[in-house]
Amino acid sequence: MKFALSWLKAFLDTDADAATIARALNGLGLEIESVTDVAAALTKFRVARVLTADKHPQADKLQVLSVDLGDGNPLQVVCGAPNARAGLIGVLGLPGAVVPANGMELRKSAIRGVESNGMMCSTRELGLGEEHDGIIELPADATPGVSYADYLGSDPVFDVAITPNRPDCMGVYGIARDLAAAGIGRLKPIATTPVEGSYPCPVEIRTEDAEGCPAFFGRVIRGVKNGPSPQWLQDALKSAGQRPISALVDITNYVMLGYGRPAHAYDLATLSGAVVARKARDGEKVLALNGREYALEPWMTVIADDAGVHDIAGIMGGEHSGCSETTTDVLLEVAYFDPAGIARTGQALALTSDARGRFERGVDTGFLDTGLDLLTGLILDICGGEASHVVRAGKAPVADKVVDYAPTLAARLGGVDLPDDEQRRILAALGFAVSGEGVWKVAVPGWRPDIDGAPDIVEEVIRVHGLDAVPSTPLPRAAGVAKPTATAAQSLERRLRRAAAARGAHEAVTWSFLPEAEAARFADGADAPWVLANPISEDLKAMRPSLLPGLLSAARRNLDRGATSVRLFEIGRRYLRGEGGASNEAPSLAVVLAGERSARGWATGKAVAFDAFDAKAEALALLAEAGAPVDNLQVMGEAGPQFHPGQSATLRLGPKTVLARFGMLHPSTLKAFDLSAPVAVVELFLERLPGKKGASTFARAPYAPPVLQGVTRDFAFLVPTDRPAGDVVRSVRGADKANIVAVRVFDDFRGQGVAEGMRSLALEVTLQPVDKSYDEAALKAISDRIVAAAAKVGATLRG
């Protein structure tokens, strides 16, 4: 929120300078984004009088001006402004000055063969407004030669970041109240004189939507003269980044920005019949002031007359009924709208406005009459006219909120022991009414809907006293070496993160929310995705049931930008529906391999793409790092409909416990994510990993290398083609657990010499002696056990 120091001082009686006020606002929790002084950038621009204006000899649209700076030495300046003429007093930028609008440094130069010693400037060029049809025209009493910065005077503009919980500071008056409570001056009371009105309101005003618009106050002012607003009002709005439009519109904006009270003025001539706050009807549309047409939903609150909708209530008025230069009679609207309804409507229409930002945070429910009096008084003073009686339809939901508060909480929760009298003073300065002894009864003012309990009162007291006054107190720490703070689950995730990165994958962090269609594709069976009732957008509507959709989208973006090989992984949470509709949050690790596993080259030939075996290798390596008993895992099908059948599988501990799934994605899944190349993926379900008995972590025993050298033996087995190689490896590995330490497939042959329906599977078996080397008898005994174990799964030793 932006405002000028002069606007603040209209509400706050203070001599404090901008730097002091900025420090105080930061101390109050109202963070200063910036403090800018427009005049400070204009020190090299001077007030100048045009003595003569002659036609340029080489250009019809240019003039050659003789400009006086008050020193008796006129300067020659070439100017193209249509209003440049003899006798005009304007602003001259001298050589060396930097134009604020575009950063251009002015220099002495020749324009069409005529020397120019600077530039006569427009309002836009100096960053003071949007006018650029001509150069600035100053009053006749402006003194030539004076720095334009001195002529304007210093009026710094504050840009304050207002957090969503401070609706009271969405107006300059609320910020002034905070500063006064902190001792930076005295808050001036709101000067309003109620206007009774001299005739009955000629328009029927009512509310038919007690939930969306419980209170609708209004009155008519006839005989107004709409035109440019006075300079003080325009300057105030410009400091806030607003463009002055007309007196009637500027007055409503001034009250909104100054007091946090949005209001609206309708051109009475455009209205027909009663003006009603109601729900929109099916098929209704409205052309808003931003020039866009919006289709309304039946649950949205609108302001309408007999002819149709004129206003998206609390957000934006309609173009048809807005005030113009020809407006002579106006209807003022000051209403209270339900914050939740405003937020929901604005989000559904993708429509933001200053009014919406205030209504959805919550405006002061007791400011309806005062706001109407402010508007009426300003319109009568600036535009003239005659006011009607006030019509009050409905009643604002004024909640008499009283909080029980013990002053000792300031020390216990806030760490600052403040005297009771000082706490009473602070609360009174902020508008709270305090009564009682011991445990106080603190009545919350209507402009503070964010206050719910005693801790909120502590926050108010402490921040006004000064957040920098809260002492820094270290937490107690036991003597000795600090104990580990990471849980077993955190340690596991850290270890997996390092392992995945060490294997060449890059970590990604994707949204926990997905488009509903993508989430549904990975929600298997009854595990329908959770859908948010109030999402940020349609593309972030469903909670992810898997990490794979987010990683696939990330892989697509990388491939679209020219990446040839993508290796991504993510550790995060997936969100599932449990029994009875309960929400389950489960940890998971996912890996996506897309593009080329190895690039083309003279040694490798063509580029090689990732396949299902690459995914299986990643799954087994990461499960081993997690401490899973990989030697006991079974490879089984049914990875899911997202996967390619025959090129995917699951890794299970027993027939039911699925620890991971891996493989190539189904073509339909690739198409859904706009991926043209085959993609291999892995998904580990970390919550299903078995825990270590008698240990809280997966700590490994210290590494102790064997004393004796290992021995390798090769075996070739004839195996049915439908028998997975993993079954044979697992069976051989279990043949002699004391001696066999590793089993690896190094060849899979099918062809001449091997019967139809069979394949030759070659295994390398590593044996590790413990206390003595093997002799021939020991090796033969182990080999016999290996052959017997292979026979149990249908494998016979090849002759």
pLDDT, one tens digit per residue, over 458-513 is 999 999 998 888 888 888 887 888 778 888 899 999 999 999 999 999 999 999 99
- Joined tokens for residue 510: 């994707």
DSSP one-letter code for 105: B
Q: Which CATH architecture has domain 711-797?
A: 2-Layer Sandwich (3.30)
CATH topology of domain 2-37+156-187: Phenylalanyl-tRNA Synthetase; Chain B, domain 1 (3.30.56)
For domain 402-469, the question of CATH label 3.30.56.10 is answered with: yes
- Amino acid identity for residue 301 in this structure: T
Q: pTM here?
A: 0.67
Give the fold, CATH level 3, of 488-688: BirA Bifunctional Protein; domain 2 (3.30.930)
Instruction: Determine whether 146 is exposed, middle or buried from the number of CB atoms within 10 Å of its CB (0-12, 13-18, 19+).
Output: middle
Element (H, E) at 460: helix 454-466
**What's residue 168's pLDDT?**
94
pLDDT of the residue at 696: 46
Please provide residue 315's backbone torsions phi and psi, each rounded to the nearest 5 degrees. -120, -55
What are the residue ranges spanned by the domains of the chain?
2-37+156-187, 39-152, 205-394, 402-469, 488-688, 711-797
Would strands 275-279 and 205-207 be described as parallel, antiparallel, or unpaired? parallel
- Do the first three CATH levels of 402-469 and 711-797 match, i.e. the same topology? no
| Strands laid side by side in the 440-443 sheet | 402-405, 440-443, 433-435
Binding-site sequence positions: 450, 456, 459-460
What average pLDDT values come out for the chain (799 residues) when binned by 10 residues? 94 94 93 88 91 92 93 91 93 92 90 92 85 88 90 89 93 96 94 90 94 95 94 91 92 96 94 94 92 93 93 92 92 95 93 93 92 95 95 88 94 91 95 93 93 94 90 83 85 95 96 90 74 85 92 95 94 80 81 92 87 94 92 86 92 91 95 93 93 55 84 94 88 92 92 91 94 92 94 90
As its CATH architecture, domain 205-394 has 3-Layer(bba) Sandwich (3.50)
CA pair distance 687, 587, nearest whole angstrom: 6
**CA dihedral defined by 11, 16, 17, 18, rounded to 10 degrees?**
-50
The pLDDT score that the predictor gives to residue 581 is: 55
pLDDT computed for residue 699 by the predictor = 54
Give the span between the Cα atoms of 521 and 660, in whole angstroms.
Answer: 18
Task: Work out the angle between the directed axes of helices 231-239 and 247-259 (0-180°, nearest 10).
Answer: 50
Return the CATH number of 39-152, one of 2.40.50.140, 3.40.50.970, 3.10.450.710, 3.40.50.1980: 2.40.50.140
Residues at the binding site for Mg(2+) are 450, 456, 459-460
Q: What pLDDT does residue 137 have?
A: 92
